[in-house]
Amino acid sequence: MTKYGAFPGSRPRRLRTTPAMRRMVAETRVHPADLILPAFVREGIDAPVPIEAMPGVVQHTRETLRKAAVEAVEAGVSGIMLFGVPEDAKKDAAGTAGTDPDGILQVALRDVRSEVGDDLVIMSDLCLDEFTDHGHCGVLDADGRVDNDATLERYAEMAQVQADAGAHVLGPSGMMDGQVGVVRDALDQTGHEDVSILAYTAKYSSAFYGPFREAVGSSLQGDRKTYQQDPANLRESLRELALDLEEGADMVMVKPAGPYLDVLARVADAVDVPVSAYQISGEYAMVEAAAEKGWIDRDKAILETLTGIKRAGADTILTYWAVEAARALALR
């Protein structure tokens, strides 16, 4: 008691006294199995190419991607999300390389599946932006606008080739209306009833995708505001969520993660399917850059961001730190 009367009447600090006590009462635990590693594989290179704006992340060769997948399994990470980077000469207006059975993403899916089998959930980004010369997530109409329904036809073809190549989960990320339903139908009609869909449900038009454009060698003409969501909107995400579930999403995702934790919390409250959050390239770059300057403690900051995302309601987190974080978590 102090001489100032009744305060403090209660002492929450008691539960913070020792590391063991804090560990015991922790409400949120990030587990290696919560983590999914996004990985880039680039066609036609013999050594991994570092991504300048994402220190520590590379564009893999086919060979180093296989190794990265094995490392992910060993670290206890549960999944890998693959992005293919075709040779520049193979990019065209329709994103043909994305539906070529021998396109880089399909080749990489077969590589990883043969390397780790079912030990890792193998996922692939289902979107055209890595494969189009204009950098948009879909095909364009005569006026240069992204043509929703023509794009859906392309997504249906992508779904089939990615599933044929061995993906366990497809991640339609282009934010076209109807994309989840079309991908579900395409899978079911081609004998891939068991392939799941992780829907990019609430995907915002974000400045934090910046480093990703370097990662996939995309020079986007214009912006994605006619298909990705306005950062100002929350209710709109709940509408997208309802549509994705109706169309057959097995899991749903909020992206980016850090600046959208309120959206994540609302989505997690509203559903009975697993919820993912994607900690994107810019979120990664910010921590790495500040740490490089000595302004924050890198390792603590990484775990804090992951804990915050889990606390907000994510069951799984896509993060470029997946393997490193899984190893660090195993030691705690």
Decide if 203 is catalytic.
yes
Residue 12 Cβ, how far from ligand PBG at the closest point, in Å?
A: 37
Of the candidates 36, 72, 15, 26, the residue with the CA atom closest to the CA atom of residue 307: 26
Of the candidates 252, 221, 46, 254, the residue with the CA atom closest to the CA atom of residue 140: 221
Of the listed pieces 19-27, 45-53, 68-76, 122-130, which binds ligand PBG according to CB under 6 A? 122-130
DSSP helix, strand, coil percent of the chain (3-state; round to 5): 45, 15, 40
* Interface with ligand PBG: number of residues (CB under 6 A): 11
Q: How many CB atoms lie within 10 A of CB 291?
A: 17
Element (DSSP H or E) covering residue 198 = strand 196-203
Residue 171 Cβ, how far from ligand PBG at the closest point, in Å?
A: 8
What are the residues whose beta carbons fall under 8 Å from the beta carbon of 1, sequence distance 6 or more? none
Catalytic residue among 3, 90, 203, 310: 203
Decide if 91 is catalytic.
no
For residue 253, the cross-strand partners are 200, 276
Residue type, 284: Y
State which of residues 281, 305, 316, 319 lies at the interface with ligand PBG (CB under 6 A): 281
Catalytic residue among 3, 255, 300, 310: 255
Query: Residue 240, interface with ligand PBG (CB under 6 A)?
Result: no
Residue 221 Cβ, how far from ligand PBG at the closest point, in Å?
A: 13
- Which residue matches tokens 């298909």? 227
Of the pair 32, 282, the CB lying nearest ligand PBG is at 282
129-164 burial by CB neighbour count: b if 16+ within 10 A, else e?
A: bbbbbbbbbbbbeeeeebbbeebbebbbebbbbbbb
State which of residues 125, 147, 247, 288 lies at the interface with ligand PBG (CB under 6 A): 125
Query: Residue 127, interface with ligand PBG (CB under 6 A)?
Result: yes
Residue 81 Cβ, how far from ligand PBG at the closest point, in Å?
A: 8
State which of residues 129, 147, 247, 288 lies at the interface with ligand PBG (CB under 6 A): 129
Instruction: Please give the positions annotated as active site.
Output: 203, 255
Binding site for ligand PBG (CB under 6 A): 125, 127, 129-130, 137, 173, 209, 212, 224, 280-281
